[in-house]
Amino acid sequence: MHASQNSKAPSYLGVGGGKRVLVGMSGGVDSSVAAYLLREGGWDVIGVTMKVWPQDCLSRTEDKCCGPQAVADARRVAHVLDIPHYVVDEAMDFERLVIDYFSREYRAGRTPNPCIICNEKLKFGNLWEKAKFLDADYVATGHYATIRHTETGAILCKGTDLSKDQSYFLFSLSQEQLTRVLTPLGGMTKPEVRDIARQLGMQVADKKDSQEICFIPNNDYKTFLQSHLGKKELRTGGIYNTSGKYLGPHDGIEMYTVGQRKGLPGGSPQPLYVVDIDPAHSRVIVGFETELIREEFEVEGMNWLGVPLEGSIEVSVKIRSTHRGTLAVLHPMDGKRALVRLQEPQRAIAPGQAAVFYHHDQVRGGGWICRKKTSAG
């Protein structure tokens, strides 16, 4: 199957004209097929895999994204496609920009999203610096999202396969970054991508998708934080209900996130959930499930993707990556902060998570859910 035979393929796939593109190859089926489609479309393709693990982590990351097995798989695919392949060591920046961010957010009583930061800082940040060094015009990935290139700029939209759509994870990219990015799989479904890989005889055709944060073994973030920070550095304190009553101690606010039910004191007539965290006093605030419901919330660090919002608009908002989205009215408060009023109240809106706003299939902007400022600022 050639790119030109796929009616859903972006128009730029067939007009490469020898332009050079650096493809971030993670060793999975998506980036492998993305590289193939671009090569078939006439692009001069170079594959690059980021090594993000220091030597002492390799044993527990053998089959993780950007781990040793991923590097080997990417190299094997590049050989099949007959394209150059390089491995770049990003371990120090991954530790500094992604893992340290992850730990800082939990220490601040927020729930982080390291994949978004990795995309912004590494995959479309550091990787672009490598692209410039190799005289590449674009960076491409296997993300299921659509980037429409126009004369006035780039527009980020959902991918055709809504069950795999990854536009949420790209909201923080700048307009400058988006204009240099190609996403060949935006108009395709996962089964179509796997079919192409099988037809090409790629060993990664049926490789399982990663469902976990790549640097968290067994998806156990608590054990990771205890090891990374050290148990003595955890911010211990008390668990309180929403009326201010002390219910017992906790081993660190880093061990809790909004919406959590496990690990809380018993003896309540109804199940208790974490409804907030008070980082200033190292308190975990718990309440009943009804107390998790919010009608509005604020976001900070807004990225308008090059087109600032001048007035309130109705949008669909996703409050976490797995959220289906719900209607809301977005009210800009200043250049980097906004108020979101929900049409239907939502559960467990966690500070630190990204809220991404859509107008139909287009990403209108996004920001980071935050606690409301007090009158004292």
Distance of alpha carbon 14 from alpha carbon 344, whole angstroms: 44
Mark whether 85 and 107 lie in a shared domain: yes
Residue 23 has pLDDT above 70, yes or no: yes
Are 265 and 246 contacting, i.e. CB atoms less than 8 angstroms apart?
A: no
CATH number (domain holding residue 303): 2.40.30.10
The token pair that represents 91 in the structure block = 């371990």
Q: Which of 65, 66, 157, 214 is catalytic?
A: 214
Indicate whether 23 belongs to any domain: yes
Are 333 and 341 contacting, i.e. CB atoms less than 8 angstroms apart?
A: no
Q: Give mean pLDDT, residues 305-323.
A: 91
Three-class SS state of 46: strand
> pTM of the prediction?
0.91
Are 355 and 366 contacting, i.e. CB atoms less than 8 angstroms apart?
A: yes
Three-class SS state of 59: helix
Residue 336 has pLDDT above 70, yes or no: yes
Three-class SS state of 265: coil
- Return the pLDDT at 310: 82
Q: Chain-wide mean pLDDT for the chain?
A: 89
CATH number (domain holding residue 275): 2.30.30
Indicate whether 189 belongs to any domain: yes
Three-class SS state of 357: strand
Distance of alpha carbon 96 from alpha carbon 299, whole angstroms: 25
Indicate whether 251 belongs to any domain: yes
Three-class SS state of 184: coil
Mark whether 30 and 174 lie in a shared domain: yes
Q: What is the count of structural domains for the chain?
A: 3
Burial of 290 (0-12, 13-18, 19+ CB in 10 A): exposed
Domain end call among 210, 239, 269: 210
Around 259, how many Cα atoms within 13 Å sit in the side-chain half-sphere? 13
Mark whether 314 and 340 lie in a shared domain: yes
Residues 6+ apart with CB under 8 A from 227: none
Q: For residue 236, which phi and psi values (nearest 5 degrees)?
A: -75, 160
- Return the pLDDT at 54: 60
Are 317 and 355 contacting, i.e. CB atoms less than 8 angstroms apart?
A: yes
Are 48 and 86 contacting, i.e. CB atoms less than 8 angstroms apart?
A: yes
Mark whether 188 and 255 lie in a shared domain: no
Q: Is 214 a catalytic residue?
A: yes
Mark whether 311 and 169 lie in a shared domain: no
The token pair that represents 179 in the structure block = 């204009």
- Return the pLDDT at 181: 95
Burial of 36 (0-12, 13-18, 19+ CB in 10 A): buried
Q: Which of 65, 66, 115, 118 is catalytic?
A: 118
- Return the pLDDT at 214: 82
Written as one letter, the residue type at 266 is G
Domain end call among 177, 210, 243: 210
Beta-sheet strands, E only, within 37-144: 44-51, 85-89, 138-140
The token pair that represents 72 in the structure block = 């080997």
CATH number (domain holding residue 204): 3.40.50.620
Residue 33 has pLDDT above 50, yes or no: yes
What domain range includes position 267? 231-287
Are 262 and 303 contacting, i.e. CB atoms less than 8 angstroms apart?
A: no
Residues 6+ apart with CB under 8 A from 53: 61, 64, 66, 67, 68, 91, 94, 215
Residue 99 has pLDDT above 80, yes or no: yes
Three-class SS state of 328: strand
Place of tokens 């990204």: 354
Distance of alpha carbon 297 from alpha carbon 305, whole angstroms: 21
- Return the pLDDT at 14: 52
Question: What percentage of the chain has pLDDT greater than the value 90?
Answer: 76
Indicate whether 241 belongs to any domain: yes
pLDDT, tens digit, 9 for 90 and up, residues 237-259: 999 999 999 999 999 999 999 99
Calculate the alpha carbon distances from 5 to 1, 16, 37, 85 in Å. 6, 16, 10, 26
Q: Is 370 a catalytic residue?
A: no
Q: Give mean pLDDT, residues 87-103.
A: 94
For CA atoms 356, 359, 361, 365, the dihedral sign is negative
Distance of alpha carbon 287 from alpha carbon 268, whole angstroms: 10
